[in-house]
Structure 1
Amino acid sequence: MNQGWVYTDRITPAAAGLSVLDFYAARYRHSSRAVWRDRILSGQIRCDDVPLAPDDRLEQGQTLAYHRPPWQEPAVPLGFEVLYEDGDLMAIAKPSGLPVLPGGGFLTHTLLHQLRLRYPENPPIPVHRLGRGTSGVMVLGKSPLARSVLSRQLRDATATARDPQAAHPIRKTYRALVGVSDLPDEFTLTTPIGKVDYPALGYVYAASPTGLPSYSDGKVIQRRSDSTLVEVTIRTGRPHQIRIHLAAAGLPLLGDPLYGVGGLPLAVVPAADGTVPVPGDMGYHLHAYRLVLPHPRTQEPLEMLCPAPALLQPASG
């Protein structure tokens, strides 16, 4: 069991006048209206440490606190290998299954919490994310300079992504497994990615004509009788970009429980408890294989490699 958590919300003009129950049921659709009512009645929702009632009306500027009791988090792999480390940055091999940041049912079973436990004096901070089901190399900033420079370089890379001839100092390359395909040996995917409505969560990121520009450059590594092994280098860093781009091209990652052909969430019927597939669900095969970047202090090029799982390596013969 973890120690529980307090989630806070500040009431905006748009939410003023709503009842406490209406606010939480509309804003956090991962739980039903009945569940939120029970939480409110049990005193878990407070303002200035005073429990609220379901029908209490909200006022602009109030800060609400949801006191979530301790809960048992799902088991995940908590260890990780350090691939590179100096005074400014660290690169690690994140295992598939380990969330990077708290969210959903995860609080302490996250990479961020494990970093704080392992390095209590000065924990390294992730400067980019990998999905829970994605394994491979991640870079972390240890010094303020590294965090600032790497964050700026990632923003600059996204800003210049439209031009394939532009300098791309940070290059992130992944291995992925899709079904049998007629993909060309080399390809570029440019489907825009944005928020789309999704039951229970409110929204997920997916293919959207009104989304943000997104660019992925890929090549086929091996064509197999039952699958295709591809390598994808992303020029932008949109959420779940490779999963969405390959699905939009008609080739969802094998085992992906969320994204179907077209790059949109699969049509699902919620389970009896109201749950639906979410982006953090497992089953797909995606691995951050290579990360190339200039060192934030010296600008010398660095290449970090994390060997792919056997299924994402070319088969011999």
Structure 2
Amino acid sequence: MGMPSPLPVRDGVGATRLRVPVEGPWPTVGAFMAERFFHLDPKLLLDRFDRGEIVAIDGTPLARETPLGVHDFVWYYREPPVERQIPFDVEILHQDADLIVVDKPHFLPTTPGGKYLQNSALVRLRNALDIPELTPIHRLDRATAGLLMFSTRPVTRGAYQLLFEKRRVEKVYEAVSLLPEGWDPRTPALGGSALPLVHRNHIEKLRGQVCVQVDPAREPNAETLVELLGFDDRVLHTLLRPHSGRMHQLRVHLAELGAGILNDAFYPELLPEAPDDFARPLQLLARELRFTDPLTGAPREFRTRRLLQEAPARQ
């Protein structure tokens, strides 16, 4: 269980926890934070100490002169950035006492981070439903649309999280790619292997890098079953069943097979950062979730109502 926050959820956003070093070149916690957040105006940051907005584990406000080494962690609320509004709604597909399942749109992050606070699925749902304890059970990339599950009660949250940790949830995605060069409709194949196929590799997320790395020399830790849904003279439509849940796994696997997902700015080539183009979403969709409910033992199945706009009309 994570360390409980001494501050309540505010406007749908939980407080941020920051580890403070025991020793270092900073005489005070204030000096450490001023250097840690060098991109902020140090006066504005230190003024937050004076207003009692930075607290210890027991909720006691800290002074800017608090010596280093007195506290291991501090908590504070992030100052909301000026956010670009994401003009798409989260649709609730199912809600009961323990579980909420939603259809997340493209471009909306699962949780607050970076440039987005209020424009995240978690914060929108907390505010709309007035459930401050709401927590995602798993994640979807900001660029990916589809099914996303949330826990409403801490007492039952671990049972659902364990399903994902033990790979007891069947996840099904679909994707649209440009038709690969040399595509032969008589013998459908990707990467030299006939469809359906299983693709495996070793994926690693390195700190400070936005793209994951593939290490062909290491034992595979990512596996995806790729099946053919359809195609036309322009695009390929595939069904993806990941056996593992590595970051960007499906995007990496299709790119390695020569069928990078349409509108992917990361794979197979990292493109320069650009504003979101809402008319060109990543053509990846979390389509289905199936599992046995850990509380009731009943089978559960959910399916998205969303469609990929680039999917071929003929299947």
Q: TM-score range by the shorter chain?
A: 0.7 to 0.9
Map of 2:176 onto structure 1? 177
| Whole-angstrom distance in 2 between the partners of 1:92 and 1:145 | 21
Q: Which residue of 2 aligns with 1:225?
A: 233
Task: Note the residue ranges of structure 2 that are not aligned, 5 or more in a row.
Answer: 1-10, 55-60, 181-188
Is 1:303 matched with 2:301?
yes
Q: Displacement of 1:294 after TM fit?
A: 0.9
CA distance, structure 2, for counterparts of residue 278 and residue 259 of structure 1: 17
Q: Out of 275, 292, 295, which is 1:294 matched to?
A: 292
The partner residue of 1:128 within 121, 138, 154 is 138
Query: RMSD of aligned C-alpha atoms?
Result: 3.6
Inter-partner Cα distance in structure 2 for 1:75 and 1:8: 26
Conservation of the 8 A alpha-carbon contact between 1:194 and 1:211? no
**1:235 — aligned with what?**
243
- Distance of 2:80 and 2:158 partners within structure 1: 35
What CA distance in whole angstroms lies between the structure 2 residues aligned with 1:155 and 1:3? 26
TM alignment of 1:151-166, pairs within 5 A: 151-157=161-167
Q: CA deviation at 1:255?
A: 0.9
Judged with a 3 Å threshold, the aligned counterparts in structure 2 of structure 1 residues 302 and 134 are, in CA distance, closer, same or farther, namely: same
Per-residue CA distance 1:173-199 (angstroms, 9 max, x = gap): 1111112124232121212221236xx
Task: Give the distance between the partners of 2:94 and 2:79, measured in 1 at CA.
Answer: 38
The TM-score, its normalising length taken from structure 1, stands at 0.72
- Matched residue, 2:260: 252
Other structure's SS at 2:262 match? coil
2:21 is matched with 12
Q: Residue 145 of structure 1 contacts residue 296 of structure 1 at CA under 8 Å; is this kept in 2? A: no
Q: 1:139 maps to which residue? A: 149
In structure 1, runs of 5+ residues without a counterpart are 26-35, 158-168, 269-275
The alignment partner of 1:196 has SS state of coil
- Give 1 or 2 for the bigger CA radius of gyration: 2
- Tell me the secondary structure at the aligned position of residue 209 of structure 2: strand
Answer yes or no: is the 8 Å Cα contact 2:103–2:305 preserved in 1.
Answer: no
Secondary structure of the residue that 1:190 maps to in structure 2?
A: strand
- 1:109 corresponds to which of 119, 133, 146: 119
After TM superposition, give the deviation of residue 302 of structure 1 in Å.
1.5
CA distance in 1, matches of 2:95, 2:271: 44
Q: 1:256 to 1:37 in 2, by over 3 A?
A: closer
Task: Measure, in 2, the Cα distance between the counterparts of 1:59 and 1:284.
Answer: 46
Residues 20-57 of structure 1 show CA distances to partners (whole Å, capped at 9, x for unaligned) of 489637xxxxxxxxxx25522544586875558xxxx9
Q: For the structure 1 residues 180 and 23, does the alpha-carbon distance in structure 2 shift closer, same or farther, using more than 3 Å as the test? A: farther
* Aligned residue in 2 for 1:186: 196
- Mapped partners of 2:96, 2:40: distance in 1: 50
Structure 2 CA distance for aligned equivalents of residues 4 and 43 of structure 1:
19
Maintained 8 Å contact 1:174/1:289: yes
Contact in 1 for aligned 2:231/2:312 (Cα 8 Å): no
Q: Distance in 2 between matches of 1:278 and 1:241?
A: 24
Specify the SS of the correspondent of 1:204.
coil
Higher mean displacement: 251-260 or 43-52: 43-52
Q: How far apart, CA to CA, are the structure 2 residues paired with 1:229 and 1:293?
A: 25
Kindly tell me the number of residue pairs found equivalent between the two proteins. Answer: 275
Please give the alpha-carbon distance, in whole angstroms, between the structure 2 residues aligned to 1:3 and 1:122: 6
| Matched letter for residue 36 of structure 2 | Y
Conservation of the 8 A alpha-carbon contact between 2:112 and 2:118: yes
